[in-house]
Structure 1
Amino acid sequence: MQLQMKGPKILRWALNLFRREETAEIDRELPFAALLFTLLSASGVTIYESWKKLCSISLLPTFQKEAKEIVRQVEVLGYDPLTVMYRRANKTRSKNYREFLLGYVSSVRSGGNVVNYLKSKLRSIFEVQSASAIRSIERLGTLVEAYAVMLIVTLCSYILFIIFATTSVFEPMKMSGTPGISPAIVCVLIFFVTPMVSIIFMVIAHAERKSNLVGLRRPYYAAILPLIIVSAFTALLAYLPMLDFLKTPQTFPLVTTVCLLAISIPPAIVYMKIAKINSDAENSIPSFLRDVTEARKIGLSPEKSIIHATKRTGYGRFTETLQLIRSQMEWGVSLRKIFT
């Protein structure tokens, strides 16, 4: 009977967790989707055409799925876009997304200025996101402090154990028969429990503040080969007697450290390269857009303005991407294909 009662509770908990994750994804992508709607609406594009364009944007997977559902209900079931948006607003669990949809529907039905509503709502969404980011960073700061304290305490405990083990401090305890701490237990606590606690801290930090790099898989791919090698080495270490000298208390901590570094360094290098490129791109985009705008003011076409702006230097690692864009444009590739 208890198992029958626990089953629905576990299923309900998993369902609520999935819904919270989906709501968080919607809230994370909402500012960018709202920005797209605002730009297209200011250019004279209807909201339904904006939803159709959003179907092809893979950088916003949650809103891409939402856009496909709205387009399906309009084209297959025959509902008008406002009715579909109103129904999706009542169905979603995201408060911000619900307010965005209901506000747009009310603005259209009351004859208000849709562009002004989208601009004001976009400003409000970014202000809310900014405040949320500040609170999240403060919580991350507390988490990092707790993690640093844990590492310091662990390191101090290990150093004290080494000092006591290499001196005569434990001799009276051994002579009196008092049980001491086994070196194997200390190694397990330091080199296995501590990394597991670190992983838990990283999971909490990831849940608290997700990265802006969407679809980041290359660092994980870079860790596959080192992980396989370390796993094979660990298996050999466990079954080959000739490697027993690596399992002594003096060398096993060093072996464990080298294995952990071998797994961690390649993904870290790959991630640092990706983060550097994205950081340079974010810092260089305002200057690049200013250069494109200045070129447009002197009468150049959009394509020639972009080519003219990409010839400048000072964009950091983002220069490589701009040079690739310029080469494709000079070859006659359309802007749609270049930016997709």
Structure 2
Amino acid sequence: MLIHGGCMNVRLRKRREAVTEEALPKPEEPLTFMDKLDVFAYSLFGGISSRVARSFEFDKYLSRAGIDVSPTLYAARALLFTLISTYIAYMAITSTILFAEGMMVKILVLIVASMIPLMTLSFFLIYPSLKASSRSKDMEHELPFFAAYISTMIRGGLSISAALERLSRIKDLPGASMEAKRILRDIKVFGKDPISALEDSVKEHPNRYYRDFILGYTSTVRRGGDIIHYLYSKTEGLFEAHAAMIKRIADKVALAAEVYVILIVLVGLGFYIFFAVSTMMPGQTASPFSSIVSLILFAYLLMPLLSLITLLMVDAMMPKMVIPINEPNKTLILSIPLGIGVTLAVLYATGGWSFIQSGVINRYTVVSTIFALSIGLIALSTPPALHYSLLAKGIRGFEDDVASFLRDLVEVRKTGISPERCIIYTSRRSYGRFTPLVNDMSKLLSWGIPIRRAIERVISRTKNWFVRVLLTFLAEAIDVGGGSVEILEALARFSFSLAEYEKELRARIKPYIMMPYFGALMTVVSTILIVYFTSQTMAILPSKPPITMEEAVFYFSTSMIINSWLIGLVAGKISNQQTMAGLTHSTILVFTVFATLAIMNAMLFQF
């Protein structure tokens, strides 16, 4: 009895300690730097920030953007950063006036510094609109998959809340997952009923297609209509709209590629001609194009900037339907010392470094620098390009194979066997590139692993966005609906639609992959020819030109090699929707441009 009483006392004491710990207030998490900055901003501009928020309608724009920040706090943050940028601009202007020499420098610094506070305030004003546009675009790309998933789950007997709960855990649909989390927050935290939470979530949503889909669903539920029929018919309509959207995206990307090539070839070539003639012809020192500084700014700043802008534009246009492969980014960073080291080693080996140190540009300097820069860029690009190729191997070309697998799975399921036996049976067939994944699923199921875990393991082994989404849908359909024929048949039908849209997007973009190659080679050949003909004309004139022929070839050749490397990134972005895929194109382009320059320099200038 004493032992029993002692045990009871120990249990009661532990229970009292647990209750006491629960009753005591938990220590709050420490404030981050941004939290402290927000507190300071609100304490400094608390009064005026509310009026600023009302004047610029921050509540409306923040709600559309999905930014969960108080409008007053956002306005205070904007005012604080504008004040800081104003102080920085004031210090820059004061230092320039006191210590800088030259009126042009003072005017330039005054103009640039005075724009800093305006640009800071403009950023805070524009950022919600940019965020809303990004939110709308992400949801527009994922809306057919969102509708197909909700239709499949509700057809399997789940409520809309349970369907959204499952959707919020799907990482391959980040936009739809985030919208589901917002709706679930209103349901669980604020106590709203699911229908009201759905309606409130789309009141200020920037995408009208998503808003129409949700409001149509809630209206069908309120009036007691056929929910399944509405969801399926609406999903089919969304897939048709998705096909039209893919055509528009392909047209925009094609237009961007055409404009880019026009700018690279025509505008770039035109300026190269201006600089070649103005810098090499005597008596042109008063021309704005005759300055070597202007030539360097154009060749090494403006042209690369044009490629980077095109890269960002294509990235904004393309649908986010790929799993990013980030590992080659680290390889690229680690390859930077390799590229620099190879460039310096080649310069030392060819004797070009001594000429560069002396500041004399002659034929040896031109040949050595072109060769060293080309080899260095190839050394920089090759390791991450190989790394990306190994990781991306087998990612594309799954669409038809996955759709065929799901169609066969439906036909076998109609015989009445379990979903597990269906997958094992269908693994006897060949599904192209998808066959290894089907065989892996079959082996895992034959070992007694549950079907959901088997599918999740296969999903973790591939980076193909299409395969991951459809296999996730398959796992959810079997988990919720028991793998009923109706649900699997709907999933197979949706997969065929997705496969056709993916193939159409690639087919429409594929012809434009070679356009950057055409632009780079056309610019190289035309520019070198212009330099050659200008040098021949210059040779018969008695006056001395601003720069020599060797200097002109040096500046133009090195800049075109650098620009060709960036053009390759644009080609990769157009073809594979990933910038790292362009490193292979960059390597090929750098080698091609170098070979073209070497042949033309040897034939025309005897370098």
**TM-score normalised by the shorter chain: which range applies?**
0.7 to 0.9
- How many residue pairs end up in the alignment? 331
CA contact (8 A) 1:184 1:249 kept: no
Is structure 2 residue 445 aligned with structure 1 residue 329? yes
Kindly indicate whether the alpha-carbon contact (under 8 Å) linking 1:51 and 1:67 is maintained by their aligned counterparts in 2.
Answer: yes
For 1:282-308, what per-residue CA distance to the aligned partner results, in whole angstroms no more than 9, with x for missing partners?
Answer: 121122123323333444321121122
Stretches of structure 2 lacking an aligned partner (at least 5 in a row): 1-81, 87-116, 357-364, 457-607
Q: CA deviation at 1:11?
A: 0.8
Choose which of 299, 311, 321 in structure 1 pairs with 2:428. Answer: 311
Distance 2:247 2:143 in 1: 18
Q: Does 1:56 align with 2:157?
A: no
What displacement does 1:271 show?
A: 4.7
Find 2:417's aligned residue among 276, 295, 300. Answer: 300
Following the alignment from structure 1 to structure 2, what is the Cα–Cα distance between the partners of residues 246 and 48?
72
Counterpart residue identity of residue 218, structure 2: V
Q: CA RMSD in A?
A: 3.8
Measure, in 2, the Cα distance between the counterparts of 1:185 and 1:251.
24
Superposition deviation, residue 34 in structure 1 = 0.8
**More divergent stretch after superposition (255-264 vs 89-98):** 255-264
* Map of 2:561 onto structure 1: none
Which residue, 189, 202, 209 being the options, matches 2:311? 202
Matched, 1:223 2:340: no
Provide the residue aligned with 2:204 in structure 1: 91
Structure 2 residue aligned with 1:25, among 116, 138, 142?
138
1:336 deviates by 1.7
Q: Please report how far the alpha carbon of residue 35 of structure 1 lies from its aligned counterpart in structure 2 after TM superposition.
A: 0.7
Question: Aligned in 2, Cα 1:329/1:201: closer, same or farther, shift over 3 Å?
Answer: same
Post-superposition Cα deviations, 1:48-104, rounded to whole Å, max 9, x if no partner, equal: 111111122111122222222322332333221001111111132221221111111
Given the alignment, which residue of 58, 70, 83 partners 2:183?
A: 70
In 1, the alpha carbon distance for the partners of 2:390 and 2:444 equals 24
The 2-side partners of 1:185 and 1:258 are apart by 27
The answer as to 2:367 corresponding to 1:258 is no
- On the 8 A contact 2:182/2:201 being kept in 1, the answer is no
Question: In the TM superposition, what is the alpha-carbon distance from 1:227 to its structure 2 partner?
Answer: 3.0
Task: Tell me, yes or no, if structure 1 residue 16 matches structure 2 residue 129.
Answer: yes
Question: Displacement, 1:110?
Answer: 0.7
- Of 211-220 and 198-207, deviating more is 211-220
Shift in CA distance, 195/313, structure 1 to aligned 2, threshold 3 Å:
farther
Task: Quote the Cα distance in structure 2 between the aligned partners of 1:277 and 1:319.
Answer: 11
CA distance in structure 1 between the partners assigned to 2:118 and 2:292 by the alignment: 45
Q: How far does the alpha carbon of each residue in 1:300-340 deviate from its partner, in whole angstroms, 9 at most, with x for none?
A: 32112112222323412x33322322232223222222333
Relative distance call for 1:191 and 1:198 in structure 2 (3 A) is same
Q: Which residue of 1 aligns with 2:404?
A: 287
For 1:230-241, list aligned pairs within 5 A: 230-231=339-340
Whether contact under 8 Å (1:310, 1:319) holds in the other structure is yes
Q: How many Å separate the matches in 1 of 2:119 and 2:447?
A: 63
Tell me if structure 2 keeps the 8 A contact 1:158–1:190: no
TM-score (norm 2): 0.48
Identity of aligned residues (%): 26
Find runs of 4+ consecutive structure 1 residues off by over 4 angstroms. 1-7, 153-161, 176-193, 231-239, 265-276
Secondary structure at the aligned position of 1:29 is classed as helix
Q: Structure 1 residues 189, 324: closer, same or farther in 2, change over 3 A?
A: farther
Unmatched tracts of structure 1, length 5 or more: none
CA gap 1:92/1:109 in 2 versus in 1, 3 angstroms: same
- CA offset at residue 234 of structure 1? 6.7
Are 1:107 and 2:220 an aligned pair?
yes
| Partner amino acid, structure 2, of 1:210 | P
Q: More deviation in 290-299 or 44-53?
A: 290-299
Cα offset for 1:7? 4.8
Structure 2 distance, partners of 1:185, 1:234, is 26
Sort the Cα spacing of 1:222 and 1:319 in 2 relative to 1 into closer, same or farther, 3 A: farther
Shift in Å, 1:33: 0.9
Is 1:140 aligned to 2:249, yes or no?
A: no
Q: Provide the rounded CA distance (Å) in 1 between the counterparts of 2:384 and 2:207.
A: 34
Which deviates the most, 104-113 or 306-315? 306-315
Structure 1 contact 245–251 (Cα < 8 Å) conserved: no
Shift of 1:230: 2.7
Residue by residue, what CA displacement relative to the aligned partner does 1:182-212 show, whole Å, maximum 9, x if unpaired? 8897677556653432222111111112342
Q: Per the alignment, in what secondary structure is the counterpart of residue 16 of structure 1?
A: helix
Separation of aligned partners in 1, 2:298 and 2:223: 66
Equivalent in the alignment of 1:81: 194
Normalised by the length of structure 1, the TM-score is 0.81
